[in-house]
């Protein structure tokens, strides 16, 4: 087991990671809200969670990674007011809320696949865990942490003196505005656990609950993550991830609900937060600000999804990334350079017994990644290793494959990945190259030089080419 160090938002310090159970790690990631396409800013949060999970596996841990899907509409603002996002999407698209959620969940996982984000161990939907959420609210009610208004059940943050500690919220400062627009809420920071459906409206997503005198309702946003993390990881688990915007409200509320419900503190040992992808002066990429890129918009502009993954890895997850044409094209160029280096190494058999010099590169790479996921330094080690004159090509190949456990570019297939994208069809250059290799292989076989013909076949495989021999000759296609 390797030593892992992580920056913990709870303490604002880098700490040595100590698992609750030796050799295992439980991770909960706040997943997407599926009422529209995820933009590449959103996807940064999941690339980060993916690297985290891969890092733990590489460090020798058994990873149990849980991610939720927020498929029940929560309200537009963190302050529990505004129109319900799912209902807005439903009006926009003319399909019911269940279909909206299904459509965008599918789109989300398509993007994940394109970005080589590994599927978590368990993906759980809020709508499949309504009972668990209701049970949790009941327990909070029994313990006196809630009150009911005309539109829902609220968590009374005044009953939890530690409220806002992680976010270092200035509650008194916030409370000075108490009289301004509290409505029926007792405190500015109180939040909805359960909302009643409006009396004159039939919602697609609504459930019976013990509150509201027969009125159906739906859960507030925060309760789903407390309920599902408890369901899959229990009342005390190792790591929780999300974007930094979740610190002041969503995660603050999750902590309040979970700690009060389970009498456990802390519920989560390490809170990890990833920073934003920004659009120049406009600040964070956001659906409400326009100028939003999705993976497929990038693709239409000729940018491979993995080039975006590369861009994310060039920055530390806790630093902002400024998105620009220059930045994304720079990343695209770098990844293509990597692909051509791989192509040059592709006919070589990786070396299993690494020299001490080669091992030092591996040690450095792992040290950077296990020290709060320093992917930028990890990439620098990779480039230095590729340029090194004192290790063999076979060692370089072996190291690349090992680094790819984290980088996840499917490194041996990178040449084919870019060749395929050259012009959506296959470029003439690539076609000529493949045809020439097939002719050379045929000649080698006629001359019974099987070592050579095998080596050529391996080269074709590394280019992503599948060959089929028959009595009529050899045909080929891309994998």
**Which among 40-48, 139-147, 263-271, 369-377 is the span making contact with ligand AMP, rule CB under 6 A?**
40-48
**26 is a contact residue toward ligand AMP (CB under 6 A):** no
CB 29 within 8 A of CB 66: yes
**What are the backbone dihedrals phi and psi of residue 258, each rounded to the nearest 5 degrees, phi first?**
-70, -45
State in angstroms the smallest separation of the CB of 304 from ligand AMP: 20
Task: Enter the tokens of residue 299.
Answer: 């693709």
Residues 19, 26, 32, 219: which binds ligand AMP (CB under 6 A)?
A: 32
Residue with tokens 């109180």: 190
**Alpha-helical segments (H) within 123-236:** 130-142, 171-175, 221-233
Which one-letter DSSP state was computed for residue 276? -
How far apart are the C-alpha atoms of 189 and 155, rounded to whole Å?
A: 9
**460 is a contact residue toward Zn ion (CB under 5 A):** no
**Nearer of residues 30 and 137 to Zn ion, judged by Cβ:** 30
**115 is a contact residue toward ligand AMP (CB under 6 A):** no
Binding-residue total with Zn ion (CB under 5 A): 2
**Which among 11-19, 25-33, 138-146, 306-314 is the span making contact with Zn ion, rule CB under 5 A?**
25-33
Which one-letter DSSP state was computed for residue 249? I
Q: Please tell me the chain's helix, strand, coil percentages from 3-state DSSP, rounded to the nearest 5.
A: 50, 15, 35
Query: What's the CA dihedral at 420, 425, 426, 427 to 10 degrees?
Result: -110
State in angstroms the smallest separation of the CB of 327 from ligand AMP: 14
State in angstroms the smallest separation of the CB of 198 from ligand AMP: 24
Q: Which of residues 227-256 bind ligand AMP (CB under 6 A)?
A: 242-243, 245-246
H or E element at residue 253? helix 252-262
Q: Which of residues 223-252 bind Zn ion (CB under 5 A)?
A: 225
**73 is a contact residue toward ligand AMP (CB under 6 A):** no
**120 is a contact residue toward ligand AMP (CB under 6 A):** no
**25 is a contact residue toward Zn ion (CB under 5 A):** no
How far apart are the C-alpha atoms of 166 and 45, rounded to whole Å?
A: 20
**Which among 181-189, 284-292, 305-313, 369-377 is the span making contact with ligand AMP, rule CB under 6 A?**
284-292
**97 is a contact residue toward Zn ion (CB under 5 A):** no
State in angstroms the smallest separation of the CB of 15 from Zn ion: 22
Residue 271 β-bridge partners:
240
How far apart are the C-alpha atoms of 477 and 479, rounded to whole Å?
A: 6
Q: Which does 225 bind (CB under 5 to 8 A by kind): ligand AMP, Zn ion, none?
A: Zn ion
Q: How far is CA 16 from CA 2, 3, 271, 393, in A?
A: 11, 7, 13, 35
**Which among 76-84, 187-195, 220-228, 426-434 is the span making contact with Zn ion, rule CB under 5 A?**
220-228
Which one-letter DSSP state was computed for residue 319? S
State in angstroms the smallest separation of the CB of 304 from Zn ion: 30
Binding-residue total with ligand AMP (CB under 6 A): 16
Residue nearest to ligand AMP (CB): 243
Between the two ends of the chain, the Cα-to-Cα distance in Å is 36
**126 is a contact residue toward ligand AMP (CB under 6 A):** no
**217 is a contact residue toward ligand AMP (CB under 6 A):** no
Question: Which of helix, strand or coil describes residue 65?
Answer: strand
Q: How far is CA 318 from CA 125, 315, 370, in A?
A: 27, 8, 15
Q: Which does 85 bind (CB under 5 to 8 A by kind): Zn ion, ligand AMP, none?
A: none
**30 is a contact residue toward Zn ion (CB under 5 A):** yes
């Amino acid at each position: 087991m390797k030593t892992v160090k992580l920056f913990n938002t709870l303490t604002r310090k880098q700490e040595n990671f100590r698992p609750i159970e030796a050799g295992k790690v439980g991770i909960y990631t706040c997943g997407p809200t599926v009422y529209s396409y995820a933009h590449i800013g959103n996807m940064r949060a999941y690339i980060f969670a993916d690297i985290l999970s891969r890092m733990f596996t590489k460090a020798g841990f058994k990873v149990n990674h849980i991610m939720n899907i927020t498929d029940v509409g929560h309200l537009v603002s963190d302050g529990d007011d505004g129109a319900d996002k799912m209902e807005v999407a439903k009006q926009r698209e003319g399909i019911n809320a269940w279909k909206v959620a299904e459509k965008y969940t599918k789109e989300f996982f398509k993007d994940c696949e394109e970005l080589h984000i590994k599927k978590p161990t368990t993906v759980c939907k809020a709508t499949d865990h309504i009972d668990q959420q209701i049970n949790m609210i009941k327990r909070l009610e029994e313990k006196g942490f809630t009150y009911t208004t005309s539109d829902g059940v609220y968590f009374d943050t005044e009953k939890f003196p530690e409220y806002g500690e992680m976010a270092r919220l200035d509650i008194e400062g916030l409370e000075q505005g108490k009289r301004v627009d509290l409505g029926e809420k007792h405190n500015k920071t109180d939040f909805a656990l359960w909302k009643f459906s409006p009396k004159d409206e039939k919602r697609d997503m609504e459930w019976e609950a013990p509150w509201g005198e027969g009125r159906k309702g739906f859960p507030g946003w925060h309760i789903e993550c407390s309920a599902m993390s408890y369901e899959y990881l229990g009342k005390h688990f190792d790591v929780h991830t999300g974007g930094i915007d979740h610190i002041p409200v969503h995660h603050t509320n999750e902590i309040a609900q979970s700690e009060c419900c389970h009498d456990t503190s802390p519920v989560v040992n390490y809170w990890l937060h990833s920073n934003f992808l920004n659009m120049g002066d406009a600040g964070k990429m956001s659906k409400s600000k326009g100028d939003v890129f999705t993976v497929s918009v990038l693709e239409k502009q000729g940018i491979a999804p993995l080039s975006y993954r590369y861009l994310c890895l060039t920055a530390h997850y806790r630093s902002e990334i400024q998105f620009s044409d220059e930045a994304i094209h720079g990343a695209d160029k770098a990844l293509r350079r990597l692909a051509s280096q791989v192509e040059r190494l592709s006919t070589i058999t990786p070396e299993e017994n690494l020299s001490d010099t080669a091992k030092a590169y591996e040690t450095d790479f792992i040290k950077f990644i296990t020290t709060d996921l320093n992917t930028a330094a990890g990439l620098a080690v990779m480039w230095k290793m590729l340029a090194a004159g004192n290790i063999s090509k076979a060692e370089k190949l072996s190291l690349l494959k090992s680094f790819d456990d984290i980088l996840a570019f499917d490194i041996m297939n990178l040449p084919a990945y870019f060749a395929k994208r050259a012009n959506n069809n296959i470029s003439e250059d690539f076609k000529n190259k493949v045809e020439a290799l097939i002719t050379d292989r045929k000649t080698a076989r006629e001359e019974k030089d099987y070592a050579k013909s095998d080596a050529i076949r391996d080269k074709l495989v590394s280019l992503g080419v599948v060959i089929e021999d028959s009595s009529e000759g050899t045909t080929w296609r891309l994998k």
